[in-house]
Amino acid sequence: MLWLPGAVQAQIVAPGGRTLFNRAVMVRSFVRIDNFAEGVPGVRVRRVVNPYAVVWGAYPHLNLTFVAPLVSVQSDAPGLPARNFTTTSFGDGFIFARYDLLRKNVRGGFTRLSPEIGVKLPSGGAFGSGSTDPIAALIFSHVRDPHWFIADAEFTYTTTGDGGLRQGNHWNYDLAYLYRVLPHGGLGIPSLYLVLEMNGQHMRRARLSGAKLPDTGGNLVFLSPGIEFMASNRVVLEFSSPIPVGRDLNGSQLKPTSSFILGIRWLF
């Protein structure tokens, strides 16, 4: 199986990263590089994920998000020719609908509580699961310039996919704090924010034809320092480096060692 652990939702897929706005279209993408270590000495695996997302402010308080990730996996195993390969394919896609159930705007900030529903759709590619999985999330945002607080939780209910394989149901959760360091005098363009996130995932064991697979599931926790730079009213650049601080994985699995994310948001 080419299913790899460490697929904690990055900013573009995490509920807190699906920016809310009204009557506009945003294109967002990033490149995420994940490095993994295997139990076999010298074997290294690298995964590069490049999601393409379109976010549409369809109606007041309502956003629709469409995500298609391009995934490339490279395995480097000196002395083991069968373990050396590079595979590139589209992963499963996502569609989300998010609504501002509670919105309170004040001078220099706002508070929002936003439920969200979505679905993961099979791509048919090498990294697709073949299953169609419903998703539900709740996002809380509290902003009082120069401070931003975002918290979210997301649950994915998995179904049986290709070959009778069912990935385990999983929870994703995120806490993020952003602090504006530029400009000093208040809101303005360009602006620079320092970011610190905690990103976690709890995944149940996968099942094959009803039988649990021992080397699947577990818990992952990352601390992700980063920056967001708003270059103009329409362009935001972002960088983050998730650091694994908790890797409680069941059995023998690839363990994430380092990650890097570089992204852009462009509002039309």
Total domains in the chain come to 1
Q: How far apart are CA 180 and CA 227, in angstroms?
A: 10
Residue 2 lies in a domain: no
CB under 8 Å to 95, separation ≥6 — which residues? 64, 65, 66, 67, 118, 119, 121
Which position has the token pair 């490279």?
A: 74
Q: Is residue 6 part of a domain?
A: no
Q: Give, as one character, the DSSP assignment of residue 123.
A: -
* pLDDT score, position 23: 52
pLDDT at 146: 92
Tokens (6 digits) for 208: 């094959």
Q: Is residue 5 domain-resident?
A: no
Predicted local confidence at residue 108, as pLDDT = 83
Domain interval for residue 237: 15-267
Does some domain include residue 155?
A: yes
Residues 6 or more apart in contact with residue 184 via CB below 8 angstroms: none
Strands (E), the chain: 25-37, 44-59, 62-76, 85-90, 93-99, 102-106, 109-121, 133-144, 147-156, 165-166, 170-182, 191-203, 207-208, 211-212, 218-230, 235-240, 243-249, 255-267
pLDDT in tens, the chain (268 residues): 444 444 444 444 566 655 444 457 888 888 888 888 866 566 788 999 888 888 888 888 898 989 898 999 998 877 777 678 899 998 899 999 999 999 898 988 899 999 999 999 998 888 888 999 999 999 999 999 899 999 999 999 999 998 899 999 999 999 999 999 998 877 778 999 999 989 899 999 999 998 999 999 999 999 989 998 989 888 888 898 889 999 999 988 888 888 888 888 887 7
229: domain CATH number is 2.40.128.130
Structure tokens at 40: 């076999």
